[in-house]
Structure formats: structure tokens, C-alpha cells
Structure 1
Amino acid sequence: MNAAVVRASLVEVLQEIQSASGLECPPLVGATKPMEALPKFDSKIWPVAIGMLAAKLGVVIANDVNIFRKEKSCIALTLDESAELVVALVDEQAPAQHAAQAANAK
């Protein structure tokens, strides 16, 4: 999985949420910071977006992870930074998933 695939999926999810909410959705590019650019995109909405993204990509993103801001801060991340964070999370999970699959195969 690469950042371009994650970013494209993330853009689709964000557009879907904004549309379903009847809210404006400005053009979403790599430098867009959803927490700043999207109307009413707050702590009630970002967990939904993360869950939708995880389902779309078929990956696990922990409930306590906010891919839209830097950890332990209020600094908003760009779509590119969010995509890279998701790729890193998936890469961290890969060894554990492979080990579990190997154990199940025995």
C-alpha cells in the first residue's frame, strides 16, 4: 500500500462525508488540512472518517489514533501527511499479521 492510494481513498471518504452532511467540500489536494479546510470537521466527525477509511482500505486503525493531527498536539496534518501516517501504521501491523497468519496455517 502506498501513500497515493491512501490519499485517494481518504479524499473519497472526506467528499462522501461532506456530501452526506450537506456541507461544502473545497478541492482536496495533498496540502489540504481537513481539520482547517472542511466545515464542521471536528472531533465528532474525524473518527467516522478514520473508520470509513480503514474499512475502505481493509486495515485496522486504532480508535485512539487521529490521522488528522500530529500526535499529542493540536497541529493539523495535510492529506499527504495523513496518508503517510496511515501507510506507517499499516507497515507496523504487517509483521504481526504475517506472524498470525503463519500460526493459523499450522
Structure 2
Amino acid sequence: MDPVIVKETLIKVLSQIQADSGLECPALTGATKPIENIPKFDSKVWPVATTILATEIKAEIPNDVNIFVDEATKLARTIDETAVFVCNLLKKQGEQEAAAA
């Protein structure tokens, strides 16, 4: 999975969620931190965004993984960081599935 594709898809998903919710959406770039920079983007919205992203990129992202926050540091991730995290997560899942086979 290519981080650029994930980034572009994530920006599209976040923009659509804000539009569907009737909320303002700032200009989204790789440096945008959704949790800090997008109005009303909270724990009720991020699972929806994650599910839509997973559907769009035809991948499985576990429901208990918050792709928008670094678990170790508890800091919000940028869109670029989120895209790389998702790619690494999917790579690890692929390796685990291959090892289990």
C-alpha cells in the first residue's frame, strides 16, 4: 500500500465527513492533524473515518486502533503520519497472516 494513495484517500474521506456533517473543513494537507485541526473531529468521528478509509482502500483496520493518535506518545498524528502508520499496520498484518499460513 502506498502512503500517497492512503493520504489522498484520507483527505477525501475527512472532507466528505465534514461536508456530510454540515461542518467547516479547513484546507487539508499532509501536515494537518485531524484531531486538533478539524472541527468536532473526536472519538465519535474517528472510528467512522477509519472504517470509511478501510473500505475505500480495500483493507482491514481493526476497530480498536486509533490511527489518528500515536499510542506511545499520545500525540495527535498528522495526515502524513497517519498514512504511513496505516501502511505499516497493513504490512504487519500481511506478515502475520503469511506467518500463520
TM-score (norm 1): 0.88
Structure 2 gaps of 5+ residues are: none
Aligned to 2:47: 47
Q: Higher Cα Rg: structure 1 or 2?
A: 1
Q: Does 1:88 align with 2:88?
A: yes
Aligned to 2:77: 77
Aligned to 1:14: 14
Give 1:74 shift: 3.3
Structure 1 gaps of 5+ residues are: none
Instruction: Give the RMSD, CA atoms, in angstroms.
Output: 1.5
Residue identity matched to 2:93: Q
CA distance in 2, matches of 1:25, 1:99: 42
TM-score (norm 2): 0.92
Give 1:95 shift: 3.0
CA distance in 2, matches of 1:97, 1:7: 25
Between the two proteins, what is the percent identity of the paired residues?
50
CA distance in 2, matches of 1:21, 1:74: 27
